[in-house]
Structure 1
Amino acid sequence: MEEICEKITQFKSKVITELQGLTDLDITCKSLLVNYLNNYNSLNSTSMLKIQAVLDYMYEQVNCGKWKDVKLYLRKTITIASYLKLLVHLKCSIRLTEDLLKESFMIIDHGILFGCPLNEEPKLLQKCASIINPFVSQLYINENLNSETTSTVAFENNCNNLTSIDILDCPSMETFLRDYILKEKPVVLENCINHWPAMEKWKDQNYFLKLAGLRTVAVELGRDYTNAEWTQKLMTLEEFIKNHIFNTSGPVGYLAQYQLFEHIPELKNDIAEPEYCCFSDVSENVDIMAWFGPKGTLSPLHYDSKKNLLAQVVGKKHMFLFSPKDSEYLYPYDTELLHNTAEVDPRKPDLEKYPKYKEATPYYCTLDPGQMLFIPPKWWHCVESLSVSFSVSFWWE
């Protein structure tokens, strides 16, 4: 415990510097947090109650409007208060128990999910998790977690012949740029990610349990995000794997479009950003998202504004794609929230309800482990998993 506390307190001076720069923060909250950080040795259970009161107030502030409009200083305060709460939690504990570890990660993960990076220490809470993480693996013994057998999902498409997508074996950068990026044409790439450690490690769900089983993530529950009963729920990765990956009796659970590699950086060591992402018009970082779920997860027909390389690591997926030129035939929703999502389901299109769909040209492929699909900007795509599946998407301008 002393060793852990000593390592985590090494970030204290940077946190204080960041806190002092939050000029918009209420003076009462700011003074309380500064005082506790400067007098760490005097922290006790009463301090925890006051820190939690600050967090509750911040949560109330960030949940009263749209997430995109939340002031940055509020989220930074959540990160700082979560760090301080973790310090008090560890300082007031005597032994390193399973319950202590679970509560420590819950504090960290709520701070990551609702807070934001600090300028002085962008990976503050992730680094705290890495300090604690070596003590977790001993809690787990290998379990028999086997994926169900891949099976074919039937679909109807009797209005048009399916157009196949080119498959290339690790093309040159020049070929990829000239024939696909510049022409905005989809393509499947083979033998480009075989060197990723993830290709072997992620086959075993025990790997995720030992590395991050106690970590809290946001899971989508429901058929898909267009369904009225669709929702999101916070749960540990262990709960997600045991209750949704291998238990099909309840609602479909999907860790979809999730910044898992920012949340748990250890997993990022298992992959590598493809060189093809270097063809960018801006200097911004590539967005890396995780897509982890059981057989039958569905992303309805939609488009994204960025270039996308979708890498399939575990399992298989059916993919339907349509050119932006076919948008009028796909019946996009007439709402701000779903403007980039289509009403028609290309797996079983209802031609009586959507007669113009027969004018569209569907492209189709099955994405196997080790393959990547390049999806150009604004290209519509519908994705359905045929088995337990883990995909990684790379988005760039």
Structure 2
Amino acid sequence: MLTNSEIFKKLEEFKSVVFDSLEEVGDLDGTCKSLIQEYLTETELLNPMAIVKIQAIIDYMYEQVNIGNWKEVKLYLRKTITIASYLLLLAKTKCTKEITECLVKDMYKVIDFGIMFGCPVDEEPDLLQKCASYLNSLGLLPHSTTEMSNQSEEIVNIDSNKYNAHVVEAIECPSMEHFYKNYIVAEKPVVLKNCINHWPALTKWKDQNYFIKLAGPRTVSIEIGRDYTEAEWTQKLMTIEEFIKNFIFQSNGSTGYLAQYQLFEQIPELKEDIIEPEYCCFSEKDDPVDVMAWYGPKGTISPLHHDSKKNLLTQVVGEKQIFLFSPQDSEYLYPHDHELLHNTSKVDPRHPDLLKYPKYKDAKVYYCVLSPGQMLYIPPKWWHFVESLSISFSVSFWWN
């Protein structure tokens, strides 16, 4: 088994590029910057007191990035969190006598905090992800398992007539030209079948223990509550193992949902199980495709809302029922008045209150149940309501 010093030396290989990244945090106050520079230059100074000081820098940066609007946060503050998180990894490794389960879990926690609240440095964009992959390759943690619920194996039979809805068209893996002409240009939703049969995820992700073994100690942000429009809705940081054991297999209590989460950027090993659909190439910009994870138990919902980007919602595990409405029907859907919820409707299409929302009766409802291996193309500005009918894992691809 590797020693602390050997792991320290491996992590230290990134030290030179991290040092070069200090140029990217030029606006950082002199005290914090000189301290980071000193520890990167003379790693023999890394001791228990250094751990306290580095953590203090991270805490201070975290306070700064949580002031005001997240989109307006100065990048140098977040890059400092990334750099300091790396430095904290070095210090924790150097200052302990042996590799323990507690230490490894603590290191993962440092990494994930840095990924979630920091941002990539130009010199090494995948700095913390590479540190995590290295630790993962060592197999330092014992793997626990949990009993698999049969909830995701339920056969779902739902009649669209129940909702007075039109069934969304479903077609077998179309040609690029056909998809572009008849759905991208026409801005028309469609279910695509047999387009991702080659994904390893279709087999691997059926077993929830796969996630525990691969990424159990990794920290993620989980949405707690019915949906984001409710007053009691909140978010909580927890490990993937805690999430699976406390929420995936529980039908009572609060709902937990790993929703709209950049899981594949945080844990690249999971990204190896999926392949970006070729249909995403129809982009008006050179921006990369946003890949988001949606993982939760039966009953999770995304309230009726619309997005500004094209969306391929891909079902990997379980089934979801989805209601869609054209942008032309927006006036019948009663969007919230609040600025942050202007793209979200007050109506629940499963049981609309026509006394409260009488115009809804004039809206044209489209409906589908998305099964494993299927993708739903949702054009920009199309309203959609999504409910998990079983334990579910979906991947969405968003692009302009």
| Corresponding residue to 2:65 among 56, 62, 67 | 62
Letter in 1 for 2:36: L
TM-score, scaled to structure 1: 0.97
Deviation for aligned residue 1:334: 1.1
CA distance in 1, matches of 2:146, 2:256: 21
In 1: Cα distance, 2:226 partner to 2:313 partner: 21
C-alpha displacement of 1:335: 1.3
Q: Between 90-99 and 76-85, report the one with greater CA deviation.
A: 90-99
Letter of the structure 2 residue corresponding to residue 145 of structure 1? M
- Which structure 2 residue ranges, 5 or more long, are not aligned? none
Contact 1:147-1:387 at 8 Å conserved across structures:
no
Partner Cα distance (1:278, 1:215) in 2: 31
Secondary structure in 2 matching 1:217: strand
How far did 1:145 drift?
Answer: 2.1
1:181 to 2:184 alignment:
yes
Structure 2 match to 1:352: 355
State the partner residue of 1:11.
Answer: 14
Change (3 A) 1:218 1:155: farther
Distance 1:329 1:156 in 2: 20
How much does 1:268 deviate? 0.3
Distance, in Å, in 1 between the alignment partners of 2:339 and 2:155 is: 36
Q: Helix, strand or coil: the match of 2:351? A: coil
Asked if the contact 1:156/1:348 (under 8 Å) is kept, the reply is no
Distance (whole Å) between structure 2 residues aligned to residue 28 and residue 142 of structure 1: 46
Closer, same or farther in 2 for the Cα pair 1:55/1:356, shift >3 Å? same
Quick check: 1:330 aligned with 2:346? no
Please state whether the residue corresponding to 2:237 is helix, strand or coil: strand
Residue type matched to 2:146 in 1? E
Task: After TM superposition, list the pairs within 5 Å mapping 1:185-204 onto structure 2.
Answer: 185-204=188-207
Contact 1:155 / 1:347 at 8 angstroms: preserved in 2? Answer: no
Return closer, same or farther for 1:16/1:211 CA change in 2, 3 Å cut-off.
same
Task: Give the letter aligned to residue 150 of structure 1.
Answer: E
Partner of 2:147: 144
Would the alpha carbon gap of residues 18 and 276 (structure 1) be closer, same or farther in structure 2, given more than 3 Å must change?
Answer: same
Give the percent of matched residue pairs that are identical in Structure 1 and Structure 2: 64
Are 2:235 and 1:238 aligned?
Answer: no
Q: Which residue of 2 aligns with 1:213?
A: 216
3-state SS of paired residue (1:139): coil
Deviates further, 186-195 or 241-250: 241-250
TM-superposed deviation, 1:57: 1.1
Q: Please name the residue that 1:340 is paired with.
A: 343
The CA deviation at 1:133 is 0.7
Q: Is the 1:301–1:382 Cα contact (8 Å) retained in structure 2?
A: yes
Q: What is the Cα-based RMSD across aligned positions, in Å? A: 1.5
Using the TM superposition, name which of 359-368 and 86-95 deviates more. Answer: 86-95
Q: Supply the distance in 2 between the matched residues of 1:217 and 1:18 (Cα, whole angstroms).
A: 26
**In the aligned structure 2, how far is the partner of 1:70 from the partner of 1:92?**
33
Shift of 1:11: 0.8
Q: Deviations over 1:171-201 (max 9, x none)?
A: 0001000100000000000111110000000
| Alpha-carbon distance in structure 2 between the residues aligned to 1:67 and 1:94 | 39
Amino acid at match of 1:60: E
Give the corresponding residue for 1:394.
397
Q: How much has 1:142 moved relative to structure 2?
A: 3.7
AA aligned opposite 1:11:
F
Amino acid at match of 2:134: I
Secondary structure of 1:101 counterpart: helix
Which residue identity lines up with residue 260 of structure 2 in the other structure? Q
State how far apart, in whole Å, the 1-side matches of 2:367 and 2:23 are.
55
Query: Which whole-Å CA distance do the structure 2 matches of 1:154 and 1:54 have between them?
Result: 54
Query: Does 1:276 pair with 2:306?
Result: no
Q: 1:250-282 CA deviation, whole Å, 9 max, x = no partner?
A: 210000000000010110000000000000000
After TM superposition, give the deviation of residue 151 of structure 1 in Å.
Answer: 6.2
**Equivalent residue for 1:2?**
5
Deviation at residue 296 of structure 1 after TM alignment: 0.1
Aligned residues: 396
In structure 2, give the amino acid aligned to 1:172. S
